[in-house]
Amino acid sequence: MDASVAETEWQQIAALVGALSEFALTSVVQLNAAVGGASGTRVEHRLVRLGRLDISGEPANADQLTAARAELLRRASRNTAALATYDGALALDPAPPDRAHLTRLREEPAST
């Protein structure tokens, strides 16, 4: 069962990812650190952090970065940009489970 964004303990997630980054600063950990805590008014801040990530040396993670950006744009009610970014993530040919998840998110009604 999926927990709602409101039920997510963002501060705890951010603290855990911060602790993990002390041991393994991989692109996936950096990505999670950038988007962790992405709720409410902090979404725009998380988009800025996400934009600063450089995972160009790890193209296998490009779809994850693009998908994370799309979700943050959606949460920021920047729906046109979110749809275009979801399309970009889908164009990167993600694994079938990721493709199904991205397609479902893309088809959800826009936030108001």
* pLDDT per residue as tens, the chain (112 positions): 455 666 777 678 778 877 887 887 777 777 777 776 555 457 887 888 787 776 666 655 677 888 888 988 988 889 999 999 999 989 988 889 989 999 998 988 665 4
Residue with tokens 């855990």: 16
Asked whether the whole model's pTM tops 0.85, one would answer: no
Tokens of 16: 């855990």
At 72, is the secondary structure helix, strand, or coil? helix
